[in-house]
């Protein structure tokens, strides 16, 4: 039963993550004209929400859940460490691309950058993400770091992993809201009248929140955590059920 509920949660999470990305693409395609990588037009800016949702939320969450897979509990840990690091690196690359497109667009339009709460949240999140990945690579992936130092820094690493996910979701939600305020700032279809774009984008934002809550749920269930070496935990039945 435990393993069935775990994999059901993972399948639901995969579906939610895919829907978040697809709905964001559809929003930009239907209401904002699609995409173009030309460094000048608003169509390039439309990559920004897609990269942020895909990278800082969906792929980041997948990387965070690598050690919840029962298959990672047995055998060498190094392949799972590499997978964890590679997925986080992919998430970071997508996030940086999301920053690149918005800064290029702002520079072309002579628009001021980094003045809104959304931009502050985003920059802080990316900075913490960069520090987190570097610390994880140096301390947990390279072989010469002592065990006691890894044990000391592991709770900090886990804590900031959850913090970054929370900040990423907050950045995405505030970004959706800011985009709607800018695009619906007119008298014919004001945001307050809830036109179809507002309903669609708000619903996408709520889906991102549900996705994040499910990620946190999977991370917090103690029986789904990788057991420490030599310790028999309540999570071991999950591994035996899945064998």
Confidence of residue 224 (pLDDT cuts 50, 70, 90): confident
Of residues 180 and 187, the one with the higher pLDDT is: 180
Distance CA 40, CA 22 (A): 24
Rounded to two decimals, what is the model's pTM?
0.91
Distance CA 67, CA 88 (A): 13
pLDDT in tens, 90-107: 999 999 999 999 999 888
pLDDT in tens, 52-64: 999 999 999 999 9
Q: Residue 82: its pLDDT value, please?
A: 95
**8 Å CB contact between 215 and 13:** yes
Task: Report the chain's mean pLDDT, rounded to a whole number.
Answer: 90
* Least confident segment among 23-32, 99-108, 219-228: 219-228
Closest C-alpha to 48, from 108, 117, 96? 96
Distance CA 115, CA 112 (A): 7
Domains detected in the chain: 14-220 (1.20.120.1770)
Percent of the residues in the chain that have a pLDDT greater than 90, as a whole number: 71
- pLDDT of residue 81 exceeding 90: yes
Q: Residue 109: its pLDDT value, please?
A: 85
* Least confident segment among 4-8, 49-53, 206-210: 4-8
Q: Residue 207: its pLDDT value, please?
A: 98
Q: Residue 42: its pLDDT value, please?
A: 84
**8 Å CB contact between 57 and 212:** yes
Q: Residue 5: its pLDDT value, please?
A: 87
3-state SS, residue 148: helix
- pLDDT of residue 33 exceeding 50: yes
């Amino acid at each position: 039963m435990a393993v069935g509920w775990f994999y059901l949660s993972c399948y639901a999470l995969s579906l939610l993550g895919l829907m978040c990305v697809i709905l964001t693409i559809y929003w930009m395609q239907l209401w904002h004209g699609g995409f173009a990588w030309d460094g000048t037009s608003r169509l390039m800016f439309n990559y920004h929400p897609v990269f942020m949702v895909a990278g800082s939320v969906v792929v980041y969450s997948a990387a965070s859940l690598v050690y919840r897979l029962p298959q990672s509990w047995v055998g060498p840990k190094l392949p799972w460490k590499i997978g964890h690091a590679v997925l986080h690196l992919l998430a970071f690359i997508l996030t940086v691309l999301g920053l690149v497109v918005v800064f290029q667009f702002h520079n072309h339009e002579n628009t001021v950058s980094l003045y809104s709460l959304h931009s502050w949240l985003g920059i802080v999140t990316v900075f913490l993400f960069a520090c987190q990945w570097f610390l994880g690579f140096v301390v947990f992936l390279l072989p010469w770091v002592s065990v006691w130092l890894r044990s000391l820094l592991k709770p900090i690493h886990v804590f900031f992993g959850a913090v970054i996910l929370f900040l990423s979701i907050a950045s995405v939600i505030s970004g959706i809201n800011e985009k709607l305020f800018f695009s619906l700032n007119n008298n014919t279809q004001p945001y307050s009248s809830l036109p179809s774009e507002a309903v669609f984008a708000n619903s996408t934002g709520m889906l991102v929140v549900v996705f994040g809550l499910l990620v946190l749920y999977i991370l917090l269930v103690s029986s789904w955590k990788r057991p420490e070496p030599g310790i028999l935990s309540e999570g071991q039945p999950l591994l035996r059920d899945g064998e």
